[in-house]
Amino acid sequence: MGVSPSRKIAFDVLRRVEAEGAYASDLLHAVLTPRVKAADAALATEITLGVLRWRRLLDFLLERHLKKPSSRLDLPVVLALRMGLYQLRFLDKVPARAAINESVELVKSARKSSAAALVNAVLRKAESEAQSPAESFLAPDVPLSERLGILHSHPTWLVERWLLRLGEEQTVALLRANNETPRLSCSVQDFSWYEEVLGSLAKAGLRTQPGVLLRNAFSVSGGSPVRTEAFRAGQISIQDEASQAVPLLLATQAGNRVLDLCAAPGGKTTALIRAAGKAGVVIAADRQAHRLGAMRVQLDRLDAGKAHLVELDAEQPLPFHEKFDRILLDAPCSGTGTLARHPEIRWRLESNQLAESHKCQVRMLRVALSQLVPGGRLVYSTCSMESEENEEVAEEVVRDMPSIQRIPQAEAKQVLVPHLATGVDAATLFGSDGYFRTSPSVHRTDGFFAAVLQSADRPPAPSRARVIGGGTNA
């Protein structure tokens, strides 16, 4: 018996995620070409992301039948076990025999034949328990954070943080949302194309639903939008709705001089280019040249206008002599607002990394604010749920820079109103402290944070940066 293409793809992707620190979504995008059957692509994606989301619970259940922790097993063996158990517990349409037998074959194909009997025995024992609630295997005295961490497959330290800040009910809702398949959201580049685009996607066999936040947005299922003519023609882009909303907060005007720091992969840059228009200037920067190269391809596909791509380090003084009317700083962060989309993050992130991220983000924000013209606007954003990376960054910088002020919440809300879907109240996107926030459990989007700031000051001394290609027709 051989291994099905879907399981072989999932196994190889999971191995690279663990061994190389790669991201599953990137690997799946690269390997799931049109030559892969749609059914195989769907099952490979389901198994890959499902195993990553439920890794802790799967290991807890497997270790009931192992003589040593799963972390001490060879990687191919533990991956085959996780894949088999995930199918037994979560995929009703997969026959148990197929789940078990193919896991055994995966171990053999990885030249670990000596472990085949172990995989077979453990999974057959696990099969007999597959219908039993996982909670029934927990001791009654397990602390709440540990219990929730096991049952909802998150690190205990992260659960503890959320319990302290959100309380049990909201924490459980967030944990559950992080284990659901996120909406595959898209944006129509021009709202006048909306009905035409949805019609063409329907003809291609895809199902669509209106956006939950924005009128230009929609979600798609039943296939890949990348394989459609609408995508190839640059009519749509794939981007979470919360991410789509962030650049709108800048209220970019035609003719503005705009800087997009940490811009790759360029989803937010496109909105800024369109808003600034032909009379505007948009500079998109990132510290990695290869990401800028990929960004150029994306901007060319969308044919949005012109942008200059610049390689630079946003923590260092910027190389621009002129200031900017609008600046977007979508800062690198922990990514805890994207754990449904990028589940491997939860197993890589450590609590001590948040303090270091905070320091880097503060440096970036101070540098960026120094480049604003008087009365100019800056949006600081992250896809993090953690206060160290969000409001604590904005408040520390505002406290230390007297010329900085926050845009009044009413004004920030009003900027979004023309872009919202019917029935969406802008107030639901802002916390009581006035910051923009979305949550997977509340808004069915990624978790995003944004602070809208206004400043005027002198720029720091310029440093050298390398322009990639001078500009691009985006």
Phi-psi region of 365 (alpha: psi -120 to 50; beta: other; left: phi over 0): alpha
CB within 8 A of 28, min separation 6: which ones? 9, 13, 44, 45, 48
Residue with tokens 């972390």: 71
The answer to whether the beta carbons of residues 333 and 342 sit under 8 Å apart is no
Residue with tokens 């944990």: 175
In the chain, the amino acid numbered 389 is: E
Cα–Cα distance, 361 to 354 (Å, whole number): 10
Query: Catalytic residue at 383?
Result: yes
DSSP codes joined into one string, 348-406:
H--TTHHHHHHHHHHHHHHHHHTTEEEEEEEEEEES---GGGTHHHHHHHHHH-TT-EE
State the virtual CA torsion across 34, 38, 43, 46 in degrees, nearest 10. 70
Distance of CA 412 to the CA centre of its chain: 24
In the chain, the amino acid numbered 61 is: L
Cα–Cα distance, 68 to 77 (Å, whole number): 13
Of the residues 186, 262, 333, 383, only one is catalytic, namely 383
For the annotated catalytic residues, the residue numbers are 383
